[in-house]
Amino acid sequence: MKRTFVFGDIHGCHRSLIALLDLAAPDMSTDTLIFLGDYVNRGPDSRRVIDHLLALRRQSRRVITLMGNHEQMFLGFLQGEESEVFLRNGGEETLESYGIKKPLPTVPVGLFPPDHVAFVNDLMLYWEDDEYIFVHAGLQPGVHLSQQSPAWLLWARDRFIHSNHDFGKRVIYGHTPFDQPKVEDNKIGIDTGAVYGGKLSCLVLPEMRFISV
């Protein structure tokens, strides 16, 4: 049976990612792996996380990597925009993982491996299959998926989380950390705060089974 493994926010927690992948043991030849974004910032090993995701994508075309709000901030930083916002939100740890020290050039994109820059640039804002919509933060109620704005997809919080709206399909999201996965009829939140001392979690479909480390 083909399965889908959905992973919550990693935030540079490479050891947790490796441990979770080992425990989940997806079949890379048949299973789909979906990562909901926020691979960088705050944790110690952002570079190694991206390296590992790139390696997974080389193994299988069934590896789906979505953008998180921290990747959006990273993109802005790479182009010399809103650098302080990126640095204040865990970017310092990301720079350390790449061995990059201050002072920084006005446009620091050339300091990073080209394949990492391409990875961040190519991330998708959402993914859907026959039964679910996968997104980093959430959706705006009453707006068609094709018309959703990056602000909602990457930054949505309370108005989405407290909504009982029927989005047509169940929404699987990260971004907002919970002590345990938040399972509701219309949506499931799977960010369990790995970088804040919580766990890194994965949802296995169609079994609706959670794995956490």
Q: Encode pLDDT of 180-209 as tens digits.
A: 999 999 999 999 999 999 999 999 999 999
CA distance 50 to 80: 21
Assigned superfamily of 4-212: Metallo-dependent phosphatases (3.60.21.10)
Q: Encode pLDDT of 171-183 as tens digits.
A: 999 999 999 999 9
Please tell me the number of Cα atoms within 13 Å of 148 on its side-chain side: 26
Q: What is the pTM of this model?
A: 0.97
Contact between 198 and 189 under an 8 Å Cβ cutoff? The reply is: no
Token duo for residue 50: 């991206």
Q: Encode pLDDT of 44-82 as tens digits.
A: 999 999 999 999 999 999 999 999 999 999 999 999 998
Q: Decide if pLDDT at 39 tops 90.
A: yes
Q: What are the extents of the domains in the chain? A: 4-212
CA distance 172 to 133: 6
Dihedral angle over CA of 144, 146, 151, 155, nearest 10: 80
